[in-house]
Amino acid sequence: MRIVLYTGKGGVGKTTTAAATAVTAARRGARALVASADAAHSLGDVLGLRLGPDPRGVALSGGGSGPDGTGRLDALEVDVRAETDHHWGAIRDWLVSLFRHQGIEEVVAEELALLPGAEELTTLLAVERHAREGGYDLVVVDCAPTDAALRLLTLPEVARGAFRVLLRVQQALAGVVTPMARSVLSVPLPESRVFRDAERLLYEKLRTLRGLVTGDDASVRLVVTPERMVIDEALRAHTDLALFELPCDAVVMNRLLPEAATREDFFQDWGRLQAERCAEVEAAFAPLPVLRAPLQEDEVTGVAALAAHGEALFGGHAPGAVLARAPRVRFRKEGDGYRAEVPLPHAERESLDVAKLADELLITTGARRRALALPRRIAALDLAGARLEPEGLVVRFERAGGAA
């Protein structure tokens, strides 16, 4: 099963691009699902349908199948609150009762009980469940704007590392303290099911989600327009995706003025600027392919318009194909030590920080930090240096004294 996730700065047309991808794939014979993971849903508006949290069939042509009779398209908009209520379960209920005991009003207590990352986590869980149960060839996800999408996609790794130690400490304390404290304190204390739900969520589910978004069958595509702020944000996003080994396989250059329009006097300067920006994007993101989508005469809504937009965008490419393979973190023997090669396109030396803590390599770039687990042999060595090269970050490890 192939998964394609679209993100970009708000207003660049990622929802239209995601819908066009799914429609085009389905009309070419694929069993496709397009899902909106953006809290401000607009997927239903683009398709011209009222969507909900369950997959709804979208009529294509000839009674809802592709030209060869095999394709189908379903669409849904994730109900974040309902999914959060379902998955947080006992954890949420205990936190609400704890805040209520402290005199906080119920409405406020319910908001406070929504732990950081809960909405992103449950959104991914909903997408994973529908993808697994639906028998689809292709799942297209319309993610939130860039920063929220990066929180969504990096959460399976960040949360699993952050909560692992906390959960074990809480369980150990609860086994000794809770039975004794329950007889003398009136404050609500967590039941064993709270820890059971937390462990299931943070271990089993996060492991599954991590595989979902970083596997060979998943790709992120960045949607941009020929505007400076949009391109700069996409460059930063590409760095963050590479840091967490979230594969990016294409950039979509959207809303380009047609060539005929750029010949008009009023649009000539726009045309020159657009050509410069397109060349800049192709050079900056190389070797990723840059797919171009022209500005349409009217809003792209409805299956017919989306299909035409998708054909213009993909041409001879299959919408669900892996259009490029992103490099991964690699460890190599180097002399008496080892080196780690971490792809970090567009990273800036001033915003980069590298440190080793126990068996993890901590890499910070901008607002993102990754704790990269080190192989056992390398974890026993010392951090000997780090440098930023054109192909990415290179970190050297040696045994104290110089012999590994």
The two structure tokens encoding residue 2: 């192939």
What is the predicted pLDDT for the residue at 180? 43
Whole-number Å distance between alpha carbons of 34 and 74:
6
Q: Both 184 and 223 in a single domain?
A: yes
Q: Does residue 100 sit within a domain?
A: no
Residue 227, C-beta contacts closer than 8 angstroms, at least 6 positions apart: 277
Q: Both 126 and 180 in a single domain?
A: yes
Q: Both 310 and 335 in a single domain?
A: no
Determine phi and psi for 142, rounding to 5 degrees: -90, 100
Range of the domain at 30: 2-81+116-314
Q: Which CATH number characterizes residue 302's domain?
A: 3.40.50.300
Q: Both 300 and 349 in a single domain?
A: no
Strand 138-142 to 72-77 pairing: unpaired
What is the predicted pLDDT for the residue at 101? 52
Q: Does residue 381 sit within a domain?
A: yes
Q: Both 381 and 248 in a single domain?
A: no
**Largest distance between two CA atoms of the chain:** 83
Q: Both 249 and 366 in a single domain?
A: no
Give the end of a domain, one of 314, 345, 372.
Answer: 314
> What single-letter amino acid sits at 332?
R
Give the end of a domain, one of 289, 314, 339.
Answer: 314
Is the separation of the CB atoms in 58 and 75 below 8 Å? yes
What residues form DSSP beta bridges with 250? 221
Whole-number Å distance between alpha carbons of 146 and 176:
44
Q: Both 310 and 334 in a single domain?
A: no
Spell out the alpha helix ranges (H) of 102-145.
Answer: 106-112, 118-133
Is the separation of the CB atoms in 337 and 398 below 8 Å? yes
Q: Which of 120, 156, 158, 129 is nearest to 38 (CA)?
A: 120
**Tally of residues, the chain:** 404
Q: Both 133 and 276 in a single domain?
A: yes
Is the separation of the CB atoms in 222 and 254 below 8 Å? no
The two structure tokens encoding residue 236: 């930063």
Structural domains of the chain, count: 2
Q: Does residue 91 sit within a domain?
A: no
Q: Does residue 110 sit within a domain?
A: no
Q: Which CATH number characterizes residue 339's domain?
A: 2.60.40.790
Q: Which of 12, 8, 17 is nearest to 309 (CA)?
A: 17
The helix (H) or strand (E) run that includes residue 81 is helix 80-101
What is the predicted pLDDT for the residue at 328? 93
Whole-number Å distance between alpha carbons of 22 and 4:
10
End-to-end CA distance of the chain: 43
Q: Both 334 and 309 in a single domain?
A: no
Residue 359, C-beta contacts closer than 8 angstroms, at least 6 positions apart: 373, 374, 376, 379
Q: Does residue 271 sit within a domain?
A: yes
For residue 359, how far is the Cα from the chain centroid?
26
Q: Both 246 and 348 in a single domain?
A: no
Q: Does residue 96 sit within a domain?
A: no
Give the end of a domain, one of 314, 343, 367.
Answer: 314
What is the predicted pLDDT for the residue at 201? 61
pLDDT tens for each residue of the chain, 404 residues long: 999 999 999 999 999 999 999 999 999 999 999 999 888 889 999 999 999 999 999 999 644 454 455 789 999 999 887 877 776 665 566 555 655 555 666 655 555 445 556 667 778 888 888 888 888 999 999 998 888 778 778 877 766 555 554 455 455 445 444 454 444 444 444 555 555 566 666 566 777 778 888 888 999 999 999 999 999 999 999 999 999 999 999 999 999 998 888 788 888 888 999 999 999 999 999 999 999 999 988 899 999 999 999 999 999 999 999 999 999 999 999 988 999 999 999 999 999 999 999 999 999 998 889 999 999 999 999 999 999 998 899 999 998 765 54
Q: Both 213 and 346 in a single domain?
A: no
Q: Does residue 323 sit within a domain?
A: no
What is the predicted pLDDT for the residue at 157? 72
Q: Both 259 and 363 in a single domain?
A: no
Cβ count within 10 A of residue 294: 16
Burial category of 350 from C-beta neighbours within 10 Å (exposed 0-12, middle 13-18, buried 19 and up): exposed
